[in-house]
Amino acid sequence: MNFLSRLFRSPPIAPREPLPADPPAPPAPARGFWALAAYAPLGDWFEPGSQRTLDVRKIIHDARLPGPLPGLIYLGLRRSRRSRRQRAALARELIAAFSTSLASGESPREIAERFREQEARGHFLPRSKRRPRLDLDLPAPAAEWIERLLARARLQPALASQAAGELAEHFVARLAAGESAADLIEQFGAAERAARLLRSTRLMTAVLLPAPLRNLLDAVLVRARLWQSERADIARELTDHFDDGLAAGRSPEQLVVDFGDPRQAARLIRRAKLRSRPLAWRLLRHSLQGLSAVTGAVLLLYVLLFVRYVTGRPTISHNYLADFNREPQAVPPDDRAWPLYREALLMLPTAGRPNALSFGTSDAANESRPSLAAYLDEHRETLALIRQAASKPRFGFIYGDPANRDFLMKFASGADAHGESPDRYDRWLIECVLPQHQEIRFLGELLYADARRASEAGNGSKYADDVLALIGMAEHNEDAAPFLVVKLISSAIYRMALHVTATVAAERPELCSDEQWKRLAHAIAAYAEGGTLRWRLDGDRDVLDDFLQRTFTDDGEGGGRLTPEGFRRLYRDFNAAGPVQGRLALAWRTWGVELGLAGPLMSAEMANRKELMDLADRLWDEAEADYARPMWQWQESSAEKTMRALASSPLERTRYWPVLDLLPGTASYMVPLVAELTTQRRDATLTAIALELYHRRHNAWPATLDELAPSLLPAVPLDRFTGRPLCYRIIDGRPLVYSCGVDGDDDGGRPPKAGNEVASRWGPEAKLDADTIASAWAAAQDGDWILWPSVEKEWAE
């Protein structure tokens, strides 16, 4: 009997329920991060603008096929039993085929009908998932048992045919021997369990064992978790053993008892078989086990760190703004300059501000001069108010003062920078905008222009009042707050006063009387308590301290760890790239920051609050000590060496991230350099006034600057680059005051080839090799820095 020829009949695929004729449209494509993670191949995750090439909803949506085709494709793919990648590929194939059919004139309905028919016949199933249709010449219970078995066993078609044949022959033989189909099925037990054994071993003799033995074998093999070839070998051996036992007259139940504990058997068999596997496999297994153990340990550690991280809460114990407010609040209201500055600023429109510094150019035909002059005339009363403010003894700005509301709304873009009362005002110090200082710089520019205009008009009194007001304004900023930015604004306003004084002393010395020149000289010399200018930046220290108290926990002894809020603020307020740079920066931002995964690691790696503050204080102290010396004695600061060494190591850069981002601006030589260059300009301006007074007394210029001291100057000022007295020459009957500059050579008062403006930006020689910008200027070191009379507008950088 050719049994197999009867077994399979056309069609080869068991038909299924067809798809609905009018299926709903597929859901809209998913959006956002999780869609990216789910539907983008791994390699696309770090590429911006990923196309999510595995998202079939997006693929179908983008194809814009007419209905009902999108819904049919979507439902068909869901029933296709394919992987995500295969479904995406199949979707593209179907869309291409449908598009071709539509282009050839076929209607969507016709295409849909054909697709439904093919889909129902299983054409889109993977070949391995297509079930053969059996037509067994057996009683219904037996045929159904075999069908269920084969359906669950999911064998290759050829193997399924062979298995079906063997089973059918066995059943036919047993039925022919007089057994009933019901008894047979009962003996064979659940088809599902037999199917698992068949799928696991591909061994039909094992399936034909009595149910207790087959179940025992199945239990052992399932627990042993071996390769398919190993399972088949063991199944074959144990099946033979059971067959021998049955042939010897033992019952299946007796053989089950004789076998022993199947769990123990599975465990021992697995252990023995693993020892027999190839050396390479065992090495790989041990490696993977080691890797899994390490991964597990790392994950556990991460979880612990995560819990530690998310439970961190800061304790805010100090209101630094209250400290800043204490002193101005103690100033009597009539002695406060800020209310008058504020009034002046509110009187001036924010739009259409002139470039007041254009009055400083030597170009008399400057187009903006008429409009600037008109602006000064229009705001004459405001200028008087500014002078009045500048004459007040203290600045008197109070943070959180409700009186500042209109000003801050106008100049701080409506920022929440005002409070209901100073006493309840408590903000992040790093967030405290400083428009009061930035806007005052504009008032200084107006005074500067007004002084230049008064000098051209021959009005010495008004000129002197404007210069004195400029110095007063610079003093107010110098006095107001110990922040670097405020000190730099103060220095800029002071340099306006120096420049306009030096310019008039050179071009219109007759404008002022002896008394007026002396008065100006005394005011200039008294700025910031005189001497070599230096700034203490206690406010910037407080900014860091305040930041740390709001972003770290407090262990009660000054230490504490980074909190989630701290991590977010670090990323926002400090270097946006964070401590991770280069190619990993994007991954850091995406995974580390936006998902917050790096937070626990950062919290563990970053130095604690006390260590950060101690490091910052130490570096600030070292920098201040190193740069307290005059510029000609400067060497590289140990603070800068430390910061460079820390920044060169990725781990250290992470560990001290806030300090390394904040300090290079405030603990480097650039801050004292600005102070040194301002000192140099001040000394040159005082020398210029002294020269003018000397000339008035003797009707001649002194042969050397030594002749000015001590009657007109306390001592001959020093060249900040060399430590020697400032250079002085009389050329064509006019005096020239200059510095030897960075090369230390007296070039006879010749500016560098690139111009005096370059000379005005020279740094100390000790820094040239360390500073890449300075190295670019190295070629322009030759020459002198002309200080008076100024040869170019190099002061307003």
Binding residues (CB under 8 A) for other proteins: these are 233-234, 236-238, 240-241, 243-245, 258-262, 264-265, 268-269, 271-273, 275-276
**Residues comprising the chain, all counted:** 797
Q: 262 or 579, CB closer to other proteins?
A: 262
Q: 237 or 423, CB closer to other proteins?
A: 237
| DSSP characters over 607-640 | PPHHHHHHHHHHHHHHHHHHTTS-GGG----HHH
The distance of closest approach from Cβ of residue 645 to other proteins in the complex, given in angstroms and rounded to an integer, is 56
Tokens 């009363």 identify what position?
381
The distance of closest approach from Cβ of residue 174 to other proteins in the complex, given in angstroms and rounded to an integer, is 20
Q: 242 or 721, CB closer to other proteins?
A: 242
Q: 152 or 236, CB closer to other proteins?
A: 236
Question: Measured in whole angstroms, how far is the alpha carbon of residue 783 from the centre of its chain?
Answer: 45
CB under 8 Å to 119, separation ≥6 — which residues?
18, 19, 72, 76, 79
The distance of closest approach from Cβ of residue 262 to other proteins in the complex, given in angstroms and rounded to an integer, is 7
CB under 8 Å to 553, separation ≥6 — which residues?
312, 313, 314, 315, 560, 561, 563, 609
The distance of closest approach from Cβ of residue 295 to other proteins in the complex, given in angstroms and rounded to an integer, is 29
Give dist(CA 342, CA 385) in Å, integer: 10
Q: Which helix (H) or strand (E) holds 101?
A: helix 84-103
Burial bucket for residue 216 (CB in 10 Å: 0-12, 13-18, 19+): buried
The distance of closest approach from Cβ of residue 234 to other proteins in the complex, given in angstroms and rounded to an integer, is 7
Q: 69 or 238, CB closer to other proteins?
A: 238
Q: 212 or 744, CB closer to other proteins?
A: 212
Q: 213 or 467, CB closer to other proteins?
A: 213
Q: Where are the alpha helices (DSSP H) in 511-649?
A: 514-526, 538-551, 564-573, 585-587, 598-605, 609-626, 638-647
The distance of closest approach from Cβ of residue 230 to other proteins in the complex, given in angstroms and rounded to an integer, is 9
Pick from 299, 317, 318, 297: which is nearest to 307 by CA? 299
The distance of closest approach from Cβ of residue 266 to other proteins in the complex, given in angstroms and rounded to an integer, is 9
The distance of closest approach from Cβ of residue 254 to other proteins in the complex, given in angstroms and rounded to an integer, is 12
Give dist(CA 438, CA 473) in Å, integer: 12
The distance of closest approach from Cβ of residue 596 to other proteins in the complex, given in angstroms and rounded to an integer, is 49
Query: Quick check: 373 and 383 in contact, CB under 8 A?
Result: no
Q: 276 or 699, CB closer to other proteins?
A: 276
Q: 236 or 519, CB closer to other proteins?
A: 236
Instruction: Count CB atoms within 10 A of the CB of residue 781.
Output: 19
Q: 215 or 781, CB closer to other proteins?
A: 215
Q: 244 or 335, CB closer to other proteins?
A: 244
The distance of closest approach from Cβ of residue 255 to other proteins in the complex, given in angstroms and rounded to an integer, is 9
Burial bucket for residue 697 (CB in 10 Å: 0-12, 13-18, 19+): exposed
Bridge partners (DSSP) listed for residue 731 = 734
The distance of closest approach from Cβ of residue 285 to other proteins in the complex, given in angstroms and rounded to an integer, is 14
Omega before residue 68 within 30° of 0, cis? yes
Pick from 644, 624, 642, 643: which is nearest to 634 by CA? 624
- Diameter over CA atoms, the chain: 147
